Amino acid sequence: MDVDARAIAPPSRRGHSISASPGKWALTFANGRTTGRDNTETTAQQSTGEARPRLPIAQALSLGRAEGSAVPVARRLAFLLAIPLSATVLFAGWGVVSAGLQGRGADRLQSLVAVSAVVGELVDELGRERVTAAELASSARGSVNPLLEQVARTDRLVGEYRQRRGRFGAGDRDAERLLAPFDGQLMRLPGLREQVRSRSVSRTAVLVRYRVAISLGLAVRESVGQVGGADGQVADRLRVAAALSRASEYAGIQQTAVLAAGGGVLTQALQQELAGARAGYEEALLTVAQRSSGRWRSWLDQALSGPEVLAAQRVDDEVTRSRVGSRLRVDVDEWARVSAQRRERLYAVQTRVDADMAAEVSRRRAEQWATTGVLSGAAVALVAVAGVLALRQGRALTSRLRRVRDAVTGMAAVDLPDLVRRVSVADPADPAAMPPAPAALAAAGAGRDEVDEVTAAFDTLAAAVYRIAIDLSRQRRVAAGSVEAVGRRCQGMAHRLLRELDLAERDEADSRTLATFFRLDNLAAQLQHATQSLLVLSGRSLGAVHPQPVALVTVAQAALSRIQEYRRVVSGAIDERVAVPPALIDDLVHLLASLLDNATRYSPDEVVVTGHLLGDRVIVQVTDTGSGIEPDLLRRLNSELADPAPMIEVEHIRRQGVATVALLAAAHGLRVRLLPGRTGGTVAEVEIPASRLLVATTPPPALPTGPVAGRRAPGTSPAASHVPAVRALRTPGRPAALTSRVESRVPHPVDAATQILPVVPPPRAARGVDQVTPVFDEVARRSPWFEEGATVHLPAAARLPAPRPWHGEQATTPNGLPRRQPMTAFVPPARPGPVVVPGPSSRGLAATAAAYQRGLSHRRFPSKGHP
């Protein structure tokens, strides 16, 4: 907050003032002595009552350094306590690192368990693919589609396996040794599948190669606990999960062996293979039953019960009881169905066990990291407590000094500027509206040391700033009130001066004197505009209240009458439908006058003002043809117009136009911006919302009610018929000669009508000004246009076009709808006779200019209380 830039009032009687500069607050007293953040005078003797010699700050600091070492107290104590603190940090860090390594081990085990679960699913899919591939290899006419579908399912799991396997980089050698053999078998699968599709491999080779890949996958599942460093309980559970996969694999070997026999003779090799598969299957189930939990055993018991499992068991028993050389009495299709069903049940149990195992490992991992966090927190707390206890004595002093420094800095940088801002907007005459004094930083009490004395000295400084801010606020209020009082008085005098000039202009017939009056009138209008600018800058309203809305074109004319170079302003197209409400009239006039004055000052040529309705807003543009504005200055001015400063600056007093325009636009919700012209110059655009104005709607054209041209009364000739001329309205207070310009007394022959039509009633009289001025009398006396009964001849090139036909009044139905009346139409206008315009005279031109000048005056719409 820049106080001296916003303070308009002179210094108070107490002889001091306050000013702000970037990074520094300073108090200036009557004797010229300054004190602030950069040069502070010790005032502790005011609180203690002791008289102490005052020394400059630089000298006092140099004495302090000469008496002792320059090393701070905190640093000295830190040197003494560095060894015990280092030992504490070392042991705490060792505990944290150990806990962190255990947490990382838990993360690694969780990743291995996830890989093991995917391997289990992949082994099951490889077993299914083995059955399909064996059937295709042994059949010359088998379809390849079942194999392709199974290969797609297997490849999906291969992709998931490789994604999870990628988390183990080359640095994890144990995981690399575990997974590398299985990776090699997966890389050989595409070649084997191609051979199966081309039927270039035997059934036995297919079974052997798939069995090798599956056995390596089972080895991965059995070794996950050992490689991952799991404890005994977790390792046993992982082996149980691997045993389930092995049991499913042995069941698959039995299935493929029986299918390979195909109901043929049981050979010795086949019997041994079936016996070995059965023994492995039972051993795997025994391992699951002995090492698994009760919940896992219940899952397995439920899976191995049911008619399908019993059917598979019966078939298995029959195969086992068969002798070598006998034919297998087994339904191959039934065997394939029941054996596949048994494998499905075993795979379901395996999936549930893997999910339960993954959840268990994840829970243990979370517990490990929680333990790591607790240990780390305890270690950090231990170090912190040790540090606090070790540095207690040294930090006791340094912390106090830092608190005082931070408090003083915060008060100087934030609190005091905010306090001065709130004081500046409050009313000093109202104690309740004033913000409270700044809180004291020094602690209350009898025991005080040097730190407390420094803090008390700054409290005294803050209290002085508070009092000075109140004085400045009071001075600004007085200055603003003075500006308002002077402005109101000047405004009243300007109004009285304009009224007296009006009276003098009405009674004055001499053109030279009138011209002098007009110049004085314009100077008075400029004085009124300058006075109103001061009122706007002081935050006051213009004070005028109008009884009714005024057209926008009239507001524009009133605005240009308040500037000096009004002769160079050209009124362009202004929408006559737009009217300005009473509350906005004076402010809009002042705003446009400021823009016009600025445009005429910096443009040697004409300035054009236009206004038109565009959608939901009205755009008023003031266009000049000057040299334009620099882009940087244009951006700065537009920024000021869009967001005016809350308080006036010294620059606003020198540049009143932009400041007043910005304040008036912000008060009424208008948008003002400066735009570069197309061919040079500047365009000042005022955007007024349509909701702030009154927009008249165009009424529908009225139907004619007079006689129709071209008709005549029956029994008459065209020459005998004529239309009665429409009598023109006579404005009260004007000479009768004015009506001769409109009324035509010469009959106008037309074609004879077929019947007599009603005469059009005269139009309603328009409102006029019942006023006769010497200027008008002078013009009327010297021009034959205003002589009643006179005939004025115009040359053929200067003849005026015929006026528009008059419309008759329109009849309506009881519901308000228009009703057509028979035999009514337009009335043809009377043709004017030849007239001759006399040459202009100098006095007539002066009188006409006088009338035009009065029309530009703001008294087109008199204010309440101001004539």
pLDDT in tens, 318-339: 777 777 777 777 777 777 787 8
Token pair for residue 533?
Answer: 């600018």
Q: Which of 96-105, 412-421, 536-545 is the least confident region? A: 536-545
**Cβ distance 790 to 737 under 8 Å?**
yes
Q: Check pLDDT > 90 for residue 685.
A: yes
* Angle, CA 36 vertex, CA 34 and CA 37 arms, to 5°: 150
Strand boundaries in 791-843, DSSP class E:
811-812, 818-819
Report the SS3 class of residue 577: coil
pLDDT in tens, 573-584: 999 899 999 988
> Crossing angle, helix 582-601 and helix 511-537, to 10 degrees?
110
Q: Check pLDDT > 70 for residue 41.
A: no
DSSP bridge pairs for 160? none
d(CA 847, CA 777): 9
Which among 701, 702, 703, 714 is positioned nearest to 821, based on CA atoms? 703
Token pair for residue 682?
Answer: 């500047």
Task: Enter the pTM of the model.
Answer: 0.40
| b/e sequence 144-172, b meaning 16+ C-beta within 10 Å | eebbeebbeebeebbeebeebbeebeeeb
Identity at 248, one-letter amino acid code: S
Mean pLDDT, to the nearest integer, of 537-562? 83
Question: What is the CATH code of the structural domain delimited by 533-695?
Answer: 3.30.565.10
**Cβ distance 622 to 684 under 8 Å?**
yes
pLDDT in tens, 601-625: 888 889 999 999 988 899 999 999 8
**Cβ distance 506 to 774 under 8 Å?**
yes
pLDDT for 865 equals 37
Mean pLDDT, to the nearest integer, of 519-538? 82
Q: Which residues contact 697 (CB under 8 A, 6 or more apart)?
A: 577
DSSP bridge pairs for 706? 825
- Please compute Rg for the chain using Cα positions: 53
pLDDT for 304 equals 81
Helices (H), 141-231: 145-165, 173-198, 203-227
Which residues of the chain form CATH 3.30.565.10? Answer: 533-695
Q: Name the phi and psi angles at 21, rounded to 5.
A: -135, 160
**Cβ distance 657 to 597 under 8 Å?**
yes
**Residue 833 pLDDT grade (very low, low, confident, very high; cuts 50, 70, 90):** very low
**Cβ distance 27 to 39 under 8 Å?**
no
Q: Is beta strand 24-28 parallel, antiparallel or unpaired with respect to 578-580?
A: unpaired
d(CA 444, CA 455): 11
Most confident listed range (44-48, 83-87, 702-706, 772-776): 83-87
Mean pLDDT, to the nearest integer, of 646-673? 81
pLDDT for 156 equals 92
d(CA 264, CA 332): 11
pLDDT for 653 equals 66
Mean pLDDT, to the nearest integer, of 437-452? 69
Report the chain's mean pLDDT, rounded to a whole number: 71
pLDDT in tens, 369-406: 888 888 888 878 877 887 777 767 667 777 777 888 88
Report the SS3 class of residue 17: strand
**Residue 70 pLDDT grade (very low, low, confident, very high; cuts 50, 70, 90):** low
pLDDT in tens, 492-512: 887 788 888 888 888 788 888
Token pair for residue 29?
Answer: 């007293």
Q: What percentage of the chain reaches a pLDDT higher than 70? A: 68
pLDDT for 839 equals 43
**Residue 698 pLDDT grade (very low, low, confident, very high; cuts 50, 70, 90):** low
Report the SS3 class of residue 265: strand
Strands of 671-676's sheet in order across: 569-574, 607-614, 617-623, 682-689, 671-676
pLDDT in tens, 726-760: 333 333 333 333 233 333 333 434 333 333 334 44
Task: Give me the residue label for tokens 């930083």.
Answer: 441
